[in-house]
Structure 1
Amino acid sequence: MRFLPFFILLFSGCIAQTNYPKDYFRLPLDIPTQLSGNFGELRPNHFHAGWDFKTQQRQGLDVHAVADGYVSRIKMSPYGYGKAIYITHPNGFTSVYGHLKSANGAIQDYIQKAYYREQAFEIELFLKPDELPVQKGQVIAFSGNSGSSQGPHLHFEFRDSKTEKIINPLLFGYDTSIKDSKKPFISGLYVYPLEANTVVNQSKRPLLLSVSLQKDGTYLASSVKANGKIGFGITTVDYDSVSYNKNGAYKVQTYWNGNPSFGYQLDTYGFDEMRYINALLDYPRYKQTNQRVQKLFMKTPYPLSFIATDATNGIIDVVPNLASVYRIEVSDFFNNVKIITVPITYDGADPVVNTLAVHSDYYVKVARDNLFTKQNIAVFFPAGTFYDDFEMDFDVKDSTLYLHNDSVPVHSNFTISITDSTYTEAQKEKVFIADIDSRGRVGYNYTWSKGNVFSAKVRSLGTYKLVTDTKPPSITIANSIAGKWISKQKTLRFSVSDSGSGIKSYAGYLNGNWILLEYDYKSRTLTHNFSDGIVAEGANDLKVIVTDNVGNSSTFETRFFRSQQY
């Protein structure tokens, strides 16, 4: 009981409810609500920031402003949210609409002018309140599949306009649009020995526990017999009654002998907290099996604001002569709850299964800077780069850096420096530090040089080496237009690729005038729409230039003919 007051103070601050307006906002689509992703769902390197509305597997649905306000930000990008619009509302909240196909009306006109003013497809605009006001229900855009979207849908968010913190749409009354009578599903329960001498069920390695359904609808786990400090982890998903997609759980709460131990409730959080998902997860298991086990303890505390814990950080200390009960409750927003009870007793038996031995001359301490060097390579890890201390595999062979492996999560950037005096000044412009994946594929990292030292900031462990790229990108047109009349054609489309450092920039010109080329990295295509009105009557000279990250360029040129009578 001595930790309970501390927990209550922390937990009440974590989940203190704001009075969010329940009837102020409408839905952004006019079709029945079905979600392919919910708020806080576990994604690679981040928690999902909003809702993903299904759009009936098609693009072009009307997207409505959810309330009066003004367009405060527009961002067009081949990546992330793709084509995105932000609307600031007078009640202190901002709504976000992502992966759009295009904007509508005055908003699209504004974007089109900005494209040609900035002479770029990738633009970010911040608007004043009187520039693009909108009314509730106004069609502001059409749903699409732009950016990093893997299929047609609408990404939608609420944010606090001042703090930029994202907020669960369910808190704004959107729960009335969702039917959910299903309990969350817990597919796995794991127990972790957390000290070198801790033994759990005669094992020093994490174990999967079996569970059985009880008459009252709860679940009972197999008994845990241990000594020393242990923690638990779960794999859990949630389903609503209509979407049939695996979504994230809204609330997880654990209890040790009836007292709250570790928990979270996904109401709101900041973008700067996103990467702490890798501390919450059993990251090595995720990388090896793609299974997302959420650890219900913190071996090394990390500042994820929606987590509340007692003074033990969710760690259970199993001592002689004291049996205990551990309970896990997983619930959704609609109070459908799944409960697992775990009986725990002390057992001093020797282990049958030992830990895998790991020995290295390089030991990383999270709380301090770490600098490792070998041969011509140095790696500098600032304090806080990782979440836990660990023994690192660090080696250099044949001018290649072998830096542990990606089973250890990295929170922030670290610096790799490689000394090489064999390059001329001209050659140095084409050299970069590349990450090499298991298939031997090269990944580009922005690299700078000072003298003979090349450096890059990176954010993952793995294999690195210096690579030279002298090969320009390739450009091919979908259908040959050289010398042809293409009056009925609506677009120009090009396939672009680069086998070295990757594409950095692209530009197109008709008769010497800049034209908009929209880049879709998923299909590696550049598209120009003749509706932009730049094409001339009769003969047109076309030029497309694509440049990679180290300055190699390719140019595609041709002449075609077009009549505007069609």
Structure 2
Amino acid sequence: MPGRFLKETLRLAVCVSALMAAAFADTGYEWPLELAPNLSSSFGEDRGSRFHMGIDLRTGGVTGKTVLAAADGHVSRVRCSAWGYGKAIYVQFDTGYSAVYGHLDDYYDELRDYVRRNQHARQNYNVDLTPKPGEFRVRRGQAIAKSGDSGSGPPHLHFEPRDPQGRPVNPRLLGMSWSDSTPPTPTKVLVCPDGPDSAVNGLAAPAVLALKTEGPGRFSCPPVRARGKIGFGVEYVDHEPDGLKLGAHRLRLLFGETTVFEVRHDRLSYDNHHNNAVAHHPFLGDLGRFKLLWRWPGNVCESYAAVTETGWWTVPEEGGELVLELVDFMGNRSVIVCPVLRDEDAPREAPAGAANAARGDLEWRCMGDWLSFTARFPAAEVEPPLVEVTAGGAAARSVAFVRAGGAVFSGAVKFDGAGPCTVRVSHPRLAAWGRSFDVAAREKPFTMALEGGARLEIPERGVYGLLPVSATLDEGGKKGGNLGPVWRLWPENAPLDRPGRITLPLPDTIKHPEKAAVGRQTGSGWAWMQGSVKDGRIQAEISSFGALSVVEDLSPPRLKEMVPEDGYAAESRRPRIRATVSDLESGVASWSLECGGQWLLAGYDADDGRIVWERDADLPAGSQELVLRVTDGAGNTAEFRRKLAVPGL
């Protein structure tokens, strides 16, 4: 939209608070919006398999707010994409730092013209451009863009400052601040033993503790009995008064004046930002989303650089009181007091009397490089269950469960190294339980032949520490679009530090192998993972375990609506042209819009499936045919046509 911005003009923030002016008066960095500082997401927040690498700035639920250069510098990169950061500007500051401005609605005049020239030259909406250093200079406070919701909505500005090495940094390090007077609110605490030789409340199993509010920012949990080494995690949220939720800047575990462990979100790296998958416990999702205050093996992200310790705390003879501290980016602080009592090491005595006839239940969990078992009986039980491990051709070794109470027993198996093994649990009043594993080790590549002709491969440094892997084949697993059996890799959702590779045989029912992919089950559907087909097999990369099958997409994208209607008589040479499309299987991959053979620049919004012409040039005059082509991830193409009359000069 020509003339939308003043060229090379310094813009001062208007209608912003005195707090904003004071916050940046001496830092050299401008707040990047012509609005009072308010966040919808903070730095280092949990994004499932990754950290949030910047801050998200509120724009009042609308697009079109003025975006400002935070410091003097030049545009080093500009991207336009239907996905990711959408329309984005990368500014290299003269200070050596840089910043990404993402999800924009529009660029400033000269940059918009530059992007559009390249889009037309390549006949592609998606471009990634690197201007020359002196080509687009910007100055602190200059309007460089309008905020939007491109790539991913709702409307907001993603602002991501980076250090001279290109690593995203906490904007507070640049002197930036924002409104936040509410401390983080913890909801529950996780306490875990580090292995079979440790226990929490009598069990080699995790315990989740409810919290009691003692006052503003002060919480306590009930005393926990423990022995050996234990680790803590916390589920929390930093509530804002209007209901939005932010993350914490710093989390610490303290014993007296000693810092047992600390997480501090000041610097991140795209090389390892996926380590967020093990910054939270990857195998206890049914119990909560716990930020760990110990270092998971292989987690090397910068948020853990403040300490060299692992975070496991050895319970002293006299027990002790630990404090979990949570501090947000504006210094608001909450503390949780966690009393720990030293538990007895000696096994508890068996109850007197005859054996119990009632059948019990067995609960088991993967805890990382060990398995936790808890057997519960409806009444006091004399005989403990046995866990038997067979590995490497050696004779089986059996260990009795430890009594945790009259009717409760605890068992555990720790894996010492890579290789196949079988674990069985036996007891007259428990259902027979057994499972075969192949243990993957971080320092070695891993290959596992799966039933049904499938294969799993994980590269060196692909798993975090040791990981017991098992797989089952569900021949009758056809559900919601897959074409054959389902391979279930366990531990479910186990994250990988480096992508693995799954190879599946193509089922006989497949019609067009070139339109096949590996699907990962997500609820009632399948997530499409593009693969390569060769010799009757399909191969794809995976970043985590789960249920996998072969899927096929033979359906082209569908049109929900298109404007204008067929036969439309336009009143100008730049009428509004838009369409809404969908593809529920492999997803929209590309699109093109033409009028009378002239390529039109049209953007695609992946959130709502809308394709909109940018109206940046006149249509050819006369009777014309508008052609929209949409191609999905499997290569299926749909073509939609409309006749229209375009007025002359």
**TM tier, smaller:** 0.7 to 0.9
Q: 1:464 aligns with which of 534, 548, 554?
A: 548
Unpaired runs of at least 5, structure 2: 1-23, 349-402, 412-424, 426-432, 476-484
- Alignment of 1:337 with 2:333, yes or no, is yes
Per the alignment, in what secondary structure is the counterpart of residue 182 of structure 1? coil
Aligned to 1:168: 170
Give the CA deviation at 1:136.
Answer: 2.1
Which residues in structure 2 correspond to 1:33-48 (within 5 Å)? 33-48=37-52
The whole-number CA distance in structure 2 between the counterparts of 1:167 and 1:335 is 17
Contact 1:299 1:315 (C-alpha < 8 Å) held by counterparts: no
As a proportion of its length, which structure holds more helix? 1
- Alignment of 1:104 with 2:108, yes or no, is yes
Change (3 A) 1:387 1:142: same
Which residues in structure 2 correspond to 1:40-439 (within 5 Å)? 40-149=44-153, 151-160=154-163, 162-175=164-177, 178-212=178-212, 218-239=218-239, 245-286=244-285, 288=286, 291-308=288-305, 313-318=310-315, 321-348=317-344, 350-352=403-405, 353-354=408-409, 359-367=434-442, 368-373=444-449, 374-398=451-475, 399-404=485-490, 406-420=492-506, 422=508, 427-439=512-524
The whole-number CA distance in structure 1 between the counterparts of 2:215 and 2:110 is 61
Give the CA deviation at 1:452.
Answer: 2.3
Contact 1:21 1:173 (C-alpha < 8 Å) held by counterparts: no
Aligned to 1:562: 646
Aligned to 1:486: 570
Deviations 1:227-286 (A, max 9, x none): 22211111223356x765221111112223532211022211212221111111023333
The whole-number CA distance in structure 1 between the counterparts of 2:235 and 2:257 is 22
Q: Which has the higher contact order (CA 8 A, sep 6+)?
A: 1
Contact 2:564 2:578 (C-alpha < 8 Å) held by counterparts: no
Contact 2:493 2:544 (C-alpha < 8 Å) held by counterparts: no
The whole-number CA distance in structure 1 between the counterparts of 2:565 and 2:328 is 56
Aligned to 1:442: 526
Per the alignment, in what secondary structure is the counterpart of residue 270 of structure 1? coil
- Alignment of 1:500 with 2:503, yes or no, is no
Per the alignment, in what secondary structure is the counterpart of residue 114 of structure 2? helix
More displaced 10-residue stretch of structure 1: 519-528 or 411-420: 411-420
The whole-number CA distance in structure 2 between the counterparts of 1:265 and 1:38 is 13
Deviations 1:448-467 (A, max 9, x none): 12322321112232222223
Per the alignment, in what secondary structure is the counterpart of residue 268 of structure 1? coil
Which residues in structure 2 correspond to 1:525-536 (within 5 Å)? 525-529=610-614, 531-536=615-620
Give the CA deviation at 1:110.
Answer: 1.2
Larger Rg: 2
RMSD over aligned Cα, in angstroms? 2.7
Per the alignment, in what secondary structure is the counterpart of residue 115 of structure 1? helix
Contact 1:69 1:133 (C-alpha < 8 Å) held by counterparts: yes
Change (3 A) 1:312 1:344: farther
Amino acid at match of 2:580: S
Deviations 1:33-52 (A, max 9, x none): 11111111222222211221
Per the alignment, in what secondary structure is the counterpart of residue 26 of structure 1? coil
Aligned to 2:535: 451
Change (3 A) 1:275 1:21: farther
The whole-number CA distance in structure 1 between the counterparts of 2:474 and 2:180 is 56
Deviations 1:203-226 (A, max 9, x none): 333222244556897544322211
Aligned identity (percent) is 27
The whole-number CA distance in structure 1 between the counterparts of 2:71 and 2:205 is 53
Q: What TM-score does the superposition give when structure 1 sets the normalisation length?
A: 0.87
The whole-number CA distance in structure 1 between the counterparts of 2:118 and 2:543 is 33
Deviations 1:496-533 (A, max 9, x none): 2224333222112111121112111111121113x221
Contact 2:187 2:211 (C-alpha < 8 Å) held by counterparts: no
Aligned to 1:524: 609
Q: What TM-score does the superposition give when structure 2 sets the normalisation length?
A: 0.77
Per the alignment, in what secondary structure is the counterpart of residue 404 of structure 2? coil
Which residues in structure 2 correspond to 1:16-31 (within 5 Å)? 22-31=26-35
Contact 2:149 2:155 (C-alpha < 8 Å) held by counterparts: yes
- Alignment of 1:549 with 2:606, yes or no, is no
More displaced 10-residue stretch of structure 1: 91-100 or 398-407: 398-407
Change (3 A) 1:167 1:470: same
Contact 2:184 2:248 (C-alpha < 8 Å) held by counterparts: yes
Deviations 1:96-131 (A, max 9, x none): 211111112111111111210121111111111221
